[in-house]
Amino acid sequence: MKPERDQNKREGRRQNWWIFGEPNKQLRRMLRGLPRYIATVETAKHRTFQFLNADVLPDNKLVVIALEDALYLGVLSSRIHVIWALAQGALLEDRPVYPKSECFDPFPFPTSDPVSQNHIRKLAEELDAHRKRVQSQNPGLTLTGMYNVLEKLRANEALNAKEKQIHDAGLVSVLRQLHDDLDAAVFAAYGWPPTLTDAEILERLVALNAERAKEEASGLVRWLRPDYQNPGGAQPQQTDLAVEIEPEARPGTKRAGKLAWPKTLSERVKAVSTALATVKEPVTASELAKSFARAKQADVGEILETLCTLGKARRGPPSAKATAGQAATEGTFLP
């Protein structure tokens, strides 16, 4: 190890070359006082969340969420959040990746009554206990194997001999029922019908995210863990996203500087909506993307389409500058 560590740019790694790694001080502060926390594997075929005891030290391949409340485990384990995570996350080859800043941070949790919340907590505790119980009774049983079988059950596909063994050992039919009940409870907490398609779920989550952004701009923040996030109970100083576009400048034209491209989805939706509100003639996604530093045309286009769906933008005529082929693939938008 020493020859390799001697070349490391970090002084701590060079000097303490025999130590495997460094403690994550911020993570340890977040976990202090918690008996357990929620974790998910960063790159995995199936997006599952579970509780880990506080004495388990996570490595860099785990995404840690410093919450002990089973309410949040239940919502994260629901179909609603999994669809969001698949849409927001990345891919490593064919395996979904869960970047916390994209999948967790902008995700709008439901606000519901205590009865609904306790129902979700109960089902989440049952789900977590069931998986741990069957795995402790069958040391070779993995979550990937169980969810592979669950996936085939949902697709009404026949199981082979090995999969039947996993089904029986993991009581996968019970696992399926727990997830079905949990999904129904989370849909009810949002006040949404359980028959929504994936696209409809995403549209509603984006709209809810925009509502939360307006709430936070007015000073209302729905803390998930207020004793840690806002221990003094002080009202945060919220400011609107600064979007400065010259009155006569059309997005896409040359200017002194570009706007910063926000990190979270809710901020991006607000930024695109604000920029679109300034245009006086139809604008394409690629033109609007040029208003921001490092913004991708596809991301801006997707937000514009969502704004149209929500009635906050409208489609315009084909761009006068576009060729016939471009007009067919890239439309224009108006506030």
5-60, pLDDT tens digit by residue? Answer: 898 888 888 888 888 777 778 888 889 999 999 999 999 999 999 999 999 988 88
Measured distance CA(65)–CA(238) in Å, rounded: 24
Question: Which tokens is 96 given?
Answer: 């979904």
Alpha helices in 171-242 (DSSP H): 172-190, 198-217, 226-229
Query: H or E segment at 283?
Result: strand 283-284
Residue 185 pLDDT level (bands cut at 50, 70, 90): very high
Is the same domain home to 56 and 74? yes
| N-terminal to C-terminal alpha carbon distance within the chain | 59
Nearest alpha-carbon partner for 202 in 46, 288, 309: 309
> CA geometry: angle at 148 spanning 146 and 152, to 5°?
115
For 258-282, the DSSP string reads: PEE--SSHHHHHHHHHHHHHT-SS-
The answer to whether position 11 is within a domain reads no
Question: Which tokens is 331 given?
Answer: 């439309």
Kindly report the pTM of this predicted structure. Answer: 0.67
Task: Please write the tens of the pLDDT for every residue from 66-81.
Answer: 999 999 999 999 999 9
The answer to whether position 233 is within a domain reads no
Is the same domain home to 282 and 308? yes
Which residues lie across from 51 on neighbouring strands? Answer: 38
Is the same domain home to 39 and 176? yes
Rounded-to-10 torsion of CA 126, 129, 135, 138: -80
Measured distance CA(213)–CA(224) in Å, rounded: 15
The answer to whether position 231 is within a domain reads no
Task: Please write the tens of the pLDDT for every residue from 285-311.
Answer: 888 888 887 888 888 888 888 877 767
Is the same domain home to 248 and 170? no
Measured distance CA(164)–CA(157) in Å, rounded: 12
Question: Which tokens is 94 given?
Answer: 């064919």
Domain that holds residue 167: 25-191
Please say which residue of 191, 214, 231 terminates a domain.
Answer: 191
Quote the number of domains for the chain.
Answer: 2
The answer to whether position 282 is within a domain reads yes
